[in-house]
Structure 1
Amino acid sequence: MNWLTDITPPGIKKMFRAQDDQQALWTRCPSCEQMTFNRDLEAEQMVCPNCGHHHPITPVMRLFHLLGEEWERLELPETPDDPLKFKDTKPYPARLKDYRKRTGERDALVVGKGMLGERAAVVAVQNFKFMGGSMGTAIGEGLLTAADAAVDAGAALIVVTASGGARMQEGILSLMQMPRSTIAVQKVREAGLPYVVILTNPTTGGVTASYAMLGDVHMAEPGALIGFAGPRVIEQTIREKLPEDFQKSEYLLDKGMLDRVTDRREMAAELGNILSVLMAPTGAVQRELPEPIAEATTQPANDAAPEAAADELPKAAE
């Protein structure tokens, strides 16, 4: 406590505490600068009711809004905390400990399974608040686990991306997750199941260069930044001014790189419609043709009973 705090009158202290409490109840939109009551913002799935700006959302909240109340969390394999003994301004294990305390998650991926309408789905969600959603061995293992779960359950695999790219603290091990995540996608494809990607703000780096662009269907939230290198890096490299909406989801939709740009509040319904086209309802039994019809369709009409056809011909006169 400093000298200024010591001499501050109790009334002034109370006023500042009241302001802090008020700020905890309200959120200012960075797009329209309007204040929204947090309870109202959460009811809108963290989408600004004034301008439609999509605020960050936690993985658990996203899974709840996509899969409903009865979704089940998948346990992901634990990976080594410091395989390369890496240290920058602080040791890598210390960074992990800090982010685990902030987010309550072990790493930057949360996987849940449940139902989207009448279709089973496994949904893997990246958490940008955990080291920028960076891709390390934990995400690689998590995606392989999600793919195996989808194949075992005959479910669609849906990945919600949010990442700044590879995790530098894991070096080459991080880059190895690009082919490993591709293997995860291939497992789902070989099983004949859909793989859908939802790109959110931001999706960049090695994530964009691997599993984020391998979907059967690519969807994105409005205004999401999507690309490999960021626009600032590109401008400095080519020394040219880029279009204002360059690498935004609407720009990529116009250029044919995305299939849909969908408001978060409509995402569950949109995904349900897409999965209803790509796969049969979970638990549905494929109806077989009745036996007589199945037999009739196995041989052409012209080949039916040649002996009987010969009997119908007039006999030659003796």
Structure 2
Amino acid sequence: MNWITNYVRPTINSLFSRREVPENLWKKCSECGTMLFHRELAENLNVCTSCGHHMAITPRARFEALFDNGAFAEVKVPEPIADPLNFRDQKKYTERLKAAQRSTAEKEAMLVAEGEIGKTPIVAAAQDFTFMGGSMGMYVGNAIIAAAERAVELKRPLVLFSAAGGARMQEGILSLMQMPRTTVAVEMLREAGLPYIVVLTHPTTGGVTASYAMLGDVQIAEPNALICFAGPRVIEQTIREKLPEGFQRAEYLLDHGMLDRVTPRTEMRDELIQILRMLLGLEPALKGDLPAPAPVENEVDGKAAKSGA
């Protein structure tokens, strides 16, 4: 046995060989091209630290940043029939569902949870665009109804984060039926006198925009989110005219009265706490969850003077 070949050379190669860097340590911003370290990006809620571009974020990660100490309890959603129409295009619908479940590690396109933000109890629902484009099928309809019923039961406001490409074509008319169903769910909140706040994220389109996503008591959007029924390309092809710059983006809709606020994701939690407590008639929340400093009397030149602790 040649010890130089079998031992010395492999040892030297292992010491000086180039180490492979995992590909998932860095992510490139699609807007400005900046390479972002994954931990820094996650701490900034998937918002580019260079240009402020809002990248996609999963409902679970959003809730961990939204709720106090990241603690929340999932609300059970009734499961519909998996493939009511036995739909098949290039693949079976059931195969597409299983692939989406594997890639996202989630059951469906919407997550419903309950917890507290700024010590204000709420029910929240969020769509996952990475799950078949966040499309609205029977499960999403059931999720919104479950969220509304839970909010009414607990007498809590409902906050919904929308992100969808529209109705789910694999469920045909059954997906379109979720538009009136979710509208009725929102009406349940109105009758109970409970606030319903919608946060529209990129993109929110199609039947989702034509139903529950535009029925909030307060409509907030993330910067530069595409919010529309028919997309700008379809409209341009139909009317054969060039659309205005930024057409159907959040800032454009804010200027034209369709939104109440456009708020960056990193400021969304504080914004929601303030609005919710205002709508519920509660005292404003204190930063850092600390009590207000009590005045302390100090003797200055024989006179009592009050100063903050």
Tell me the TM-score normalized by structure 2: 0.84
1:64 Cα deviation from its structure 2 partner: 1.2
Match of residue 3 from structure 1: none
Match of residue 66 from structure 1: 66
Letter in 2 for 1:49: T
1:243 Cα deviation from its structure 2 partner: 1.3
Letter in 2 for 1:117: G
Match of residue 253 from structure 2: 252
Match of residue 27 from structure 1: 27
1:79 Cα deviation from its structure 2 partner: 1.1
Match of residue 81 from structure 2: 80
Distance 1:154 1:177 in 2: 24
Matched, 1:109 2:110: yes
Distance 1:95 1:234 in 2: 29
List runs of 5+ in structure 2 lacking aligned partners: 1-12, 284-309
3-state SS of the aligned residue for 1:267? Answer: helix
- Return the match for 2:20 from 15, 18, 21: 18
Q: CA offsets, 1:86-106, max 9 Å, x none?
A: 000011111101101111111
Higher strand share: 2
Matched, 1:232 2:207: no
Letter in 2 for 1:99: A
Matched, 1:183 2:178: no
List runs of 5+ in structure 1 lacking aligned partners: 1-9, 283-318
Match of residue 314 from structure 1: none
Letter in 2 for 1:155: R
Q: CA offsets, 1:207-231, max 9 Å, x none?
A: 0000000000000000100000110
Match of residue 96 from structure 2: 95
Match of residue 142 from structure 2: 141
Q: Percent identity?
A: 55
Q: CA offsets, 1:106-152, max 9 Å, x none?
A: 11000111112232111100000000000000000000000001011
Decide whether the 8 Å contact of 1:28 with 1:36 is kept in 2. Answer: yes
- 1:207-246 counterparts in 2 under 5 A? 207-246=208-247
Q: CA offsets, 1:48-74, max 9 Å, x none?
A: 111100110011010111113221111
Match of residue 52 from structure 1: 52
Decide whether the 8 Å contact of 1:118 with 1:281 is kept in 2. Answer: no
Matched, 1:166 2:167: yes
Distance 1:111 1:83 in 2: 23
Letter in 2 for 1:235: E
Match of residue 40 from structure 2: 40
1:281 Cα deviation from its structure 2 partner: 4.5
Decide whether the 8 Å contact of 1:221 with 1:261 is kept in 2. Answer: yes
Letter in 2 for 1:139: V
3-state SS of the aligned residue for 1:40? Answer: helix
Distance 1:200 1:91 in 2: 29
CA radius of gyration, larger in: 1
What number of residue pairs does the alignment pair up? 268
Match of residue 274 from structure 1: 275
3-state SS of the aligned residue for 2:46? Answer: coil
Match of residue 127 from structure 1: 128
Match of residue 291 from structure 2: none
Aligned-residue RMSD, C-alpha: 1.5
Distance 2:66 2:24 in 1: 27
Distance 2:268 2:160 in 1: 13
Distance 1:218 1:64 in 2: 22
3-state SS of the aligned residue for 2:54? Answer: coil
Decide whether the 8 Å contact of 1:134 with 1:163 is kept in 2. Answer: yes
Match of residue 6 from structure 1: none
| Relative contact order higher in (CA < 8 Å, ≥ 6 apart) | 1
Letter in 1 for 2:201: T
3-state SS of the aligned residue for 1:18? Answer: coil
